[in-house]
Chain A
Amino acid sequence: MTETTLLDVRNLTIDLPRGADRPHAVEDLTFTLERGEILCVVGESGSGKSMTAHAVMGLLPKAVKVSSGGIRHQGTDVLSLPERDQRALRGGRIAMIFQEPMTALNPLMRVGDQIDEVLRYHTALDRAARRARVVELLASVGLPEPDHLRRSYPFRLSGGQRQRVMIAMALAVEPDVLIADEPTTALDVTTQKQILELIRDIQAKRHMGVMFITHDFGVVAEIAHRVAVMQKGRLVEIGAAEEVLNRPKHPYTRQLIAAVPHLIEHREDFTRDRQPVLTAQKVCKTFHIGGGFFTPGRKVVAGDDLSLTIHQGETVGLVGESGSGKSTLGRSIVGLIKPDSGKILFEGVDLLSLSRPAFRPYRRHVQMVFQDPYASLNPRHTVGDIITQGPVAFGEDRHRALDKAKELLTLVGLDASAAERFPHEFSGGQRQRISIARALALEPKLLIADEPVSALDVSVQAQVLDLLEDLRHRLNLSMLFITHDLRIAAQICDTIAVMQKGRIVEIGPAKEVFGNPQHGYTRTLLDAIPGKGWTVPEDVVPVTRRSAALRNSA
């Protein structure tokens, strides 16, 4: 151990309660965190990365116990400290910021008071000095009008501002270790970029050690000095960022990096002279939120003069940040939302002008794949039921429908026997395959995919994207692909429409939008993609994708 070592984790093993899917959350984990470095801990969900952070902070759930090994903070054993000293260490020397800034802040307390609370417990400052310090801290994390903002409640702040408040709170007593547990996962790309810059800035200025937990290799490339890769509770690779990112050794690291969606231009130019399948014309939608008999409530414009065309066999990507109205357009097309005005023409027929019964036959031509594979399948029905319900509703014989469902299950890469099982027996990626099979059961011409991979781990993400890509060639599907991740859009879309605050600000072939963006907002989005300066090393790009790229460029 050297002078500069802040955290020294040795042979740490954390037991899970009996009955969990594996005996240890973390097994024989050894690493150090040095002063002045950002250590990124990367892994997929369930890899034990958050558990490690929680162990350091003494936040482990009751049923979970550290069974062997130790955690030392500048020489003192954290785990054997009495509760009182542990409390002083937590928040005093080691601070933590969480993934979800909305739930990490107390909604009933002004943000200034929440920071003040930390100061009251950990410092001897008097009231006036604490108040000055709160303002100073809020200013140091780049919040505007700190003196005014300190009196706001969390709900008045945006996600990015809340995360800044969290960081200010963590910095209140000048910790030497900052643990950040996926601090940007819940944020939009442009906000993510700002928060990453802030963390990097503060870390450099104060010479802290930062343990940054993430699942995104783009983020790693952006800020890491060193990288630790975890898989199923074990550390599989640790090393300098440059080394791990560009010359990964462990097969799991290589697999993770290969799954990272990246801006590769492998698409042949799509010819737009084919038949248009769906045309949206000047679609507008305003939501009225709240309001009662006397108060007018708030207006949110989710769609303002939206027009786009999807041709036969084309994949149109709808990208934008949260609240930009991209889901509203998708849902309007499948008839879940009724727009205020405009036209949605499917093969020449305006769907919006149709009555409910007249619209029904068109439903089967336009199907949807939903975002959350855990919420989109009815937990009480078998997979077979879930897939056949659509065709049965359209009058197909139940047995015939079930036979077809089994074929579809094999088509999406599952076993036909899956039909008899229930959704909870499947993983997130498998559920998303089921969801795709359900959409395909009605033999649609157009598939609306609303963030179909954003709830999945990267490696699973890549598989589901490959499946969608494969299916659309095989079945000659047209697709509207809604996503917030430009890297994914770049990978599978022919045409990109960029949305901001309910408007399409730029639309065009993917190559042009990414290669030569016209609108300022598109440039901002592209600029905010984490890890854009890093190219995935050639030798880890999967063979299938490389051959696809070759085929398209030839």
Chain B
Amino acid sequence: MSSQATVHHDHHDDHHPTGIMRWLTTTNHKDIGTMYLVFSLIMFLLGGIMILGVRAELFQPGLQLVKPEFFNQLIGVHALIMIFAALMPAATGFANWMLPLQIGAPDMALPRLNNWGFWLLPPAAILLTLPFTLALFGIGDGAIATGWTFYAPLSVQGGIGVDFAIFAVHLLGVSSVLGSINVIVTILNMRAPGMTLMKMPMFAWSWLVTAFLLIATIPVLAGAVTMLLTDRHFGTHFFDAAGGGDPILFQHLFWFFGHPEVYIVLLPVWGFMPQILQTFSRKPMYGYKAQVYSLWAIGILALVVWAHHFFTVGMPVPALLYFMYSTMSISLPLAVLFFCWIATIWKGSLTFETPMLFAIGWIVLFGIGGLTGLVLADVAADAQYHHTYFVVAHFHYTLFAGGIMGIMAGVYYWLPKMTGHMFSERLGKLHFWLTAISFNLTFIPQFFLGLAGMPRRIPDYALQFAEFNMISSCAAFVLGLSQLIFVYNIISCVRGGKKATNKVWEGAEGLEWTLSSPPPYHSFTEQPVVK
């Protein structure tokens, strides 16, 4: 890449605005990626504060701090924010930052759409949380109180919070679909010469599957919540039994989206995690092809297993059996992935920098999430565990350990590349150990609570559950406060620190590590050739 060519291609973008206008109008993939990641971090903290309110209420049996209605609002909005406003934007942020760098593209394929895709998110977040504030002024009765699943008929009867949430989901959906289209076009059209599909980084593969899943399922969710909206206000009866509708239909429509959604937030992590593992094992990724095929297998299976989320509504036995076996079959390609991840670090020369600590902790904890999912997939066992804290613990092992701790590994892995500075390893390791230990102390008791039959989404509980809930609440507060170390570490890394080298990590492989740290505002204006 000659410096002359860079200057030539840059000149028309040199006068980009500064200050707030830079961020409002930017079409640069790194700027937009940064905005996604910052937005995600803020929402992660906001969703965390909400659930600490819930854990504070659950510290003791009885009702002490919040009213049951407010409790219901907190759990639902916590989930919506964590899934739609924290996890998904974090994954999209990484896609924006790293996909063009990893595949040697100068930018995302559709930069203006990219800008719009991001700026739909803050209004959506405001729509979700505004009803809390409105209720303080006596308008409406607060945010959506149905849980994040919007189940009818409760959501048909709910207050204005439901309408706000419906419109928020519409905006978030449009944003994700635009983001997905952008990712697919970028990956298929903008790869560096010589980079065939089977030479792509795993992160690109995983995002390709994710993007197709989003395109297949988000419109179904948008349709479902639109039907809900017309049921609420325009006299239709999609889910209203009085008018010949069926509330169970809503569960089918919702989980047709909802189950693939789990993989939508996890697949990007499965993409960059092998890259982190190979970096700190200093040996090539094991089973590249097997991993690619497994990602696709999981993506396709994810679309046909949704009804295991409501085994207890009363399905015919053949349907139960089908959804049980198809759900369990997902564990086969997932086991292939686990095998590849472990084989990648097998006999490598490992070092345990913060990203690697998170990666290894992630394999173990996500493994627990996967195995407990296998238990829930069993129709006979599910009758006991359904809607208990066992389910809550299970999906936090997949979505917090498997999702958010994975994202944290990615943040620590790429932060020096993005900022040009090394973060504090000492604080990073402290953050990891506090997070891993307090996470387990929060959720292992919840497995026991669920096995003992404590129902989820209820602000009060029987006395026999008191000790485990107390442990869980204390650990949850440690978990929440530990994240402040993460925030501090990121901020101080952005502001300064030891200069990062281009390669940052000794064993790092891939095109993003050939650029300077931080990479130039416009990178790969001359595409590199991959051999």
Mutual binders A and B: no
